Amino acid sequence: MSSIVSVGTAVPPYLMRQEDACRLAGEHFEGTIENLAKYLQVFKNALVTERYFCVEPDWFASEHSLAAKNRLYLEWAERLSLDAIESCLEGAGVARDEIDYFVFVSSSGIATPSLDVTIINQLGFRADIRRLPLFGLGCAGGAAGIALCNSLASTRASAKVLLVAVEINSLTFQPDDLTKSNLVATSLFGDGAAAVLFSAESDGLVNILNSVSLLKPDTDHLMGWDFVDTGFRVVFSRAVPQTIMDMMPDALGKVIDGRNIGLEDIDAFIFHPGGKRILEAYEKILGRRREDFASSYGVLDRYGNMSSATVLFVLDDVLRKAGRRTGDYGLLAAFGPGFSAEATLVQWT
């Protein structure tokens, strides 16, 4: 068992209001998508008020090569990761040379050596730090990273493990993709990074009690990227919310199994807000109210869907809010490509 000591977050400087994003999409796709006004309703129904991009609005008006997009990804993923790490470590009062393991999660750009090497060099982490970069987990990446970091922290007394999840989703916009999936992604995606510090000692904000990872067979086509000449093209099936509903009972049942508690004993829900239909699926399957997912709704409203980093923003929001008592239980969950479910049970210290 390990504990979460601190969380830090960072977003890029360009604020995009949802009404402006809708207008820009309308101007861009006018004359190319039939019944465009109908499809632009996704912007109003996305439950997003604003989000942050690493590029200004004019950037979306022209085409860019995969190479140009990836250069921007490398620049901004590094910058946001550094800011999130600095915030996280400062909040914990932990020095850089105390970090033993570094788990880096991202699915919106490519680097070899992986970007964690650049970050390690920039921050002067120890040369013997153990690092593990993870790619391809998508929206489940932050939650999967938490489970992995808990396992790493449990292997060594007094270990300190750093998790970073960073996504620059704005750069994946495909100007010639006329599918509804592209419009849905355009209405939801934002950029951001989050860093989480774990300690092998139970001296943090919440203890991690158990984690579960599940794959549903023959669903790998439901979500992910198609890699095309112009970059990353989103794949998002209408079957995703129902698949989440199908997987949730098993995933959540397994994560609390043997703890002598039921779902009715959970005091806080730290769920990845993938979109309106996904949040509604959470409420329906758990028999809970919208208010029980206030942090998930709030993060979606202010930041959009930042893929792997989003659930860590929700975690940060939940930890900052008053009202939790020692012994309270929380469930953290996210779903992503595979199709996969990640769930973790935590308890306030």
Q: Is the dihedral angle over the CA atoms 290, 294, 299, 301 positive or is it negative?
A: positive
CB 200 within 8 A of CB 158: yes
Q: What is the reported pLDDT for 27?
A: 87
- Counted residue by residue, the chain has a size of 349
Same domain, 222 and 156: no
Mean pLDDT of the chain: 93
Beta bridge partners of 224: 235
Model confidence pLDDT, tens digit, residues 165-179 = 999 999 998 888 778
Same domain, 25 and 130: yes
Model confidence pLDDT, tens digit, residues 110-127 = 999 999 999 999 999 999
Q: Mark which of 178, 199, 220 sits at the end of a domain.
A: 199
Q: What is the reported pLDDT for 22?
A: 93
Active site residue 139: yes
Average pLDDT on 54-69 reads 91
Longest CA pairwise span in the chain (Å): 62
Same domain, 182 and 218: no
Going by pLDDT thresholds of 50, 70 and 90, the confidence category of residue 202 is: confident
Domain count, the chain: 2
Same domain, 128 and 229: no
Q: How far apart are CA 67 and CA 126, in angstroms?
A: 31
Token pair belonging to 195: 């860093």
Catalytic site residue from 22, 54, 88, 139? 139
CATH code (residue 189): 3.40.47.10
pLDDT at 239 over 80: yes
Model confidence pLDDT, tens digit, residues 184-198 = 889 999 999 999 999
Q: Mark which of 150, 166, 199 sits at the end of a domain.
A: 199
pLDDT at 31 over 80: no
Token pair belonging to 5: 């000591």
Same domain, 143 and 194: yes
pLDDT at 154 over 90: no
Same domain, 256 and 229: yes
| 283 closest CA partner among 298, 301, 271 | 271
* pLDDT above 90 as % of the chain: 75
Model confidence pLDDT, tens digit, residues 259-314 = 889 998 999 999 999 999 999 999 999 999 999 999 999 999 999 999 999 999 99
| 54 closest CA partner among 236, 306, 293 | 306
